Structure 1
Amino acid sequence: MEAKQYISVIKRRLWVIILFVLISCLTTAFISKYVIKPVYQASAELIVNKASQYAGSEQLNFDSIRTNIQLIETYKQILKSRAVMDEVIKKHPNLNLTVKELNEEVNVSSIKETQVMTISMRDKDYEHAAAVVNAVADMFRSKILTIMNVDNVTILNEAQEQFVDPIPVSPNLKRNLLGSLMISLLIAVGMVIMIEFLDDTIKSEEDITSYLGIVTLGSVSEVKRRDMNKQETPASKQVKGGEASYAAAKS
């Protein structure tokens, strides 16, 4: 098929494409809004420096900041270790999590070239996620002193446990609709082109010439009954009327 033929097929079956895309987007919107349960994210930010006993005797310079930044990866591994997570579970049994679940659900990240660490967690219950994040942050601040002799940990932002109207991070309605629009459009276009490609029936004079290699001398178009009624002459209507009256008189 040439490009013109593809365009012609799409134009001829455009209503099918529009209908398919519309149904797909409406279904996606319904599922995102009423079926999928929203997921919320709570996060807390920490900043970790060298031990305070050294901070007082050392000027803040590029090298010390660089050293603290390089230690961030170490701090992240310590935060996810059993030395911290076990203590969180023991101190907060009301969280109803195992150490494995806590490790899987809590995420630790850092902003590049900074000393700031972010502890985050996603959950269907925002208050539960906030409680877990704050518990992990507090336990890390208390345990890092004995592990690495660091007592200069500051919690920049705690997760707000009493949030009036938290905004879910998932599902993202706009992103889901956009994805549904693009995917359904590709499927619909591919479907109508495939149907046209598999359809080997002859529909026009060009098809006869293309498939059979012969030239058509003429064609008979389809005539519908309503078109025949419109083309009836007054004389034919009078004859029909006379026949009807004759039949009535004879009976």
Structure 2
Amino acid sequence: MASDSTEIDIEQILNMLRKRFLLILAVAIVVGIGATLFTYLLQGDVYQARSTIIVSSVKGADSAAVPLTYNDYTLNVKLVNSYSVLCKTDRVLDQVITELGLPMTPAQLADKITVSSAKDTEIIHIAVKDGDPVRAQAITNSVTRIFQKEVTEIMKMDNVQIIDEARLPGAPVSPNRIRNVALGLAVGLVLGFGLAFLIEILDRSVKSEEQITELLGIPVLGSVPRIIED
């Protein structure tokens, strides 16, 4: 009995898909077109520039370089977390805004900046996302240089070295337009199927002899044919 019920359910679903195929396809196309227009016309390109710095051997600002000891390395790793926060402070960002003449607040600029580091390393990456690739590069390098200067003034340590300055990004990092369009089509298919299923559930009209037999449990004795007038 369970097998028969499953077969009937699958058959009903397949019949529904065949009957409502155009509706499902239309919804998928409409949503897909909407996703395409949104991602190509309304979503602007976002570029990312990135610089890399290292927290090197700890020494006084006016001291000569000394060999790196294990204690120095341990301290440097601990300082990475503090330095990551310092990169996005108003003290640093106010200077960046003034230097580049940026039309934004420190909070707005901070939202564009991501500071990251690999666990238990002295390496810090400073990344900036912006709709203008030239500005993304300029902000990244400005933040990096000003941060390096502020570390010396605030921490009284000259232990930050720039490994890589930011390069001009050649291609946007977002949006992923192909993925967005594909996702739009997939969502459209799901919505179309859901709408077709809802219509099918709400449709209580009897359309076949089999439905009468199934609903009433009695055989059909006869039917009135449709007469087509000439």
Normalised by the length of structure 2, the TM-score is 0.82
- How far 1:42 moved relative to its partner? 1.9
Contact persistence 1:39–1:122 (CA under 8 A): yes
Structure 2 equivalent of residue 189 of structure 1: 193
Within the candidate set 47, 50, 73, 1:40 is matched to 47
Aligned to 1:71: 79
What corresponds to 1:129 in structure 2? 136
SS of equivalent to 1:184: helix
CA contact (8 A) 1:76 1:108 kept: yes
**Residues 85 and 222 (structure 1 numbering): CA distance in 2 closer, same or farther, change over 3 Å?**
same
Give CA-to-partner distance per residue, 1:54-82, whole Å, 9 cap, x none: 962444x4x54343222211111111223
State the SS of the aligned residue for 2:116.
strand
Alpha-carbon spacing, 1:178–1:111, altered in 2? closer, same or farther (3 Å): farther
> Aligned pair 1:81/2:85, yes or no?
no
Structure 2 residue aligned with 1:94, among 93, 101, 116?
Answer: 101
Q: Give the Cα–Cα distance (whole angstroms) in 1 for the partners of residues 65 and 76 of structure 2.
A: 12
Given that residues 39 and 171 in structure 1 are in contact (C-alpha distance below 8 angstroms), is that contact kept between their aligned partners in structure 2? yes
- Seen in structure 2, the aligned counterparts of structure 1 residues 35 and 224 have a Cα distance that, compared at 3 Å, is farther
Q: How big is the alpha-carbon RMSD for the aligned residues of Structure 1 and Structure 2?
A: 2.5
Kept in 1, the 8 Å contact 2:57–2:67? The answer is no
Larger gyration radius, structure 1 or structure 2:
1
**1:223 CA displacement:** 6.3
1-structure distance, mates of 2:40, 2:130:
17
Could you tell me how far apart the structure 1 residues matched to 2:158 and 2:73 are? 16
Query: Within the alignment, does 1:198 sit opposite 2:202 as a pair?
Result: yes
Give the secondary-structure state (helix, strand or coil) at the position aligned to 1:44.
strand
Question: Structure 1 length normalisation: TM-score?
Answer: 0.76
* Whole-Å separation in 1 of the counterparts to 2:81 and 2:64: 21
Q: Which residue in 2 is equivalent to 1:21?
A: 28
Cα distance in 1 between the residues matched to 2:181 and 2:202: 31
Contact 1:144/1:151 (CA < 8 Å) preserved in 2? Answer: yes
Higher relative contact order (CA 8 A, sep 6+): 2
Confirm whether residue 49 of structure 1 aligns to residue 49 of structure 2: no
- 1:202 positional shift: 0.5
Q: In the comparison of the two structures, how many residue pairs are matched?
A: 220
Q: CA deviation at 1:120?
A: 1.7
